[in-house]
């Protein structure tokens, strides 16, 4: 098992954000985490990335406990995150954003190889590498956020709402690229509100509600589960 999150609790002051999350990810999988706003999806990713410190519980990555590591050390273990809202560095160039993604990598050959791969996944980024990232369109910014995460040469990629605010045609394109990234050997954890698209891509899914995991199953079963359909897939039909 690549990632094992066990009985994870997170508090923000007096507010309890996660109450005992259990979540497992196998090497090579795409795992979707679904749920409404405020269910704790982003908090779960941020706990894995080390941005928030769990109150209790364990996160084990490839046999190593990582829940006490600061965020900048977690990246060094090749766990990269493309955060919610993209969070690109708008006043830096596209190239500088990508270079920052490789901040923990010391091997110039590897960096160059990753950069070429990212430019083949997202040719638009290559065209715009000298441009300030803040001048990119929403879709291009999302590509940059994913590309920047890939520059860390991750074995585990955490994607937080990659479809947020994008037109359907761009969503399809981004999800196609996520599949390509996965097929290249990167394990993916995908947080999404767009449950239908996410479950079509993922192998397995977890459904979160109010800081708890209420369901976990294969993506195919979740797509047919009447409760999931009613709550997250906008009713029958479509």
**Cα pseudo-dihedral 87, 208, 60, 1, rounded to 10:** -110
Chain Cα centroid distance, residue 43: 12
Q: Which residue in the block uniquely carries the two structure tokens 């993604």?
A: 101
Closer by beta carbon to another protein, 76 or else 123: 76
Interatomic CA distance for residues 73 and 92, integer angstroms: 23
Taking CA atoms, 75 is separated from 68, 104, 125, 149, in Å, by 13, 7, 23, 9
Q: How far is the CB of 97 from another protein (least distance, A)?
A: 8
Closer by beta carbon to another protein, 164 or else 210: 164
Parallel, antiparallel, or unpaired for β 156-160 and 79-82?
A: parallel
Closer by beta carbon to another protein, 50 or else 139: 50
**13 torsion bin: left (phi>0), alpha (psi -120 to 50), beta (else):** left
8 A C-beta contact, residue 152 and residue 105: yes
Closer by beta carbon to another protein, 187 or else 225: 187
Q: How far is the CB of 159 from another protein (least distance, A)?
A: 12
Q: How far is the CB of 62 from another protein (least distance, A)?
A: 18
Q: Which pair of structure tokens corresponds to residue 8?
A: 């994870």
Element (H, E) at 15: strand 15-25
Closer by beta carbon to another protein, 32 or else 145: 145
Closer by beta carbon to another protein, 22 or else 96: 96
Q: How far is the CB of 127 from another protein (least distance, A)?
A: 20
Query: Applying CB under 8 A, which residues contact another protein?
Result: 49-51, 70-73, 75-76, 80-81, 83, 87-92, 96, 99-101, 103-104, 132, 134-135, 148-149, 152
Q: How far is the CB of 47 from another protein (least distance, A)?
A: 13
What are the φ and ψ backbone dihedral angles of 204, each rounded to 5 degrees? -135, 165
Q: How far is the CB of 133 from another protein (least distance, A)?
A: 10
Closest CA to 187 of 29, 4, 2, 5: 29
Q: How far is the CB of 227 from another protein (least distance, A)?
A: 34
Interatomic CA distance for residues 208 and 45, integer angstroms: 13
Closer by beta carbon to another protein, 20 or else 90: 90
């Amino acid at each position: 098992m690549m990632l094992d999150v066990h009985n994870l609790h997170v508090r923000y002051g007096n507010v309890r954000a996660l109450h005992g999350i259990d979540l497992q990810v196998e090497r090579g999988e795409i795992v979707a985490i679904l749920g409404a706003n405020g269910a704790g999806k982003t908090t779960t990713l941020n706990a894995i990335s080390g941005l928030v410190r769990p109150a209790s519980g364990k996160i084990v990555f490839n046999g190593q406990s990582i829940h006490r590591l600061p965020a900048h050390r977690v990246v060094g273990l090749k766990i990269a995150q493309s955060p919610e809202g993209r969070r690109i560095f708008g006043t830096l160039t596209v190239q500088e954003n990508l270079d920052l993604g490789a901040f923990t990598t010391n091997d110039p050959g590897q960096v160059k190889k990753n950069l070429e791969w990212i430019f083949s996944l997202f040719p638009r980024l290559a065209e715009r590498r000298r441009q300030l990232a803040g001048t990119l369109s929403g879709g291009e910014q999302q590509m940059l956020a994913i590309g920047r995460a890939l520059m860390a040469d991750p074995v585990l990629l955490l994607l937080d709402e990659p479809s947020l605010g994008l037109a359907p045609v761009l969503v399809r394109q981004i999800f196609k690229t996520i599949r390509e990234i996965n097929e290249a050997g990167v394990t993916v954890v995908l947080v999404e509100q767009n449950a239908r698209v996410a479950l079509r891509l993922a192998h397995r899914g977890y459904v979160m509600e109010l800081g708890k995991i209420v369901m976990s199953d294969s993506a195919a079963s979740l797509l047919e589960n009447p409760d999931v359909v009613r709550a997250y897939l906008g009713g029958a039909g479509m």
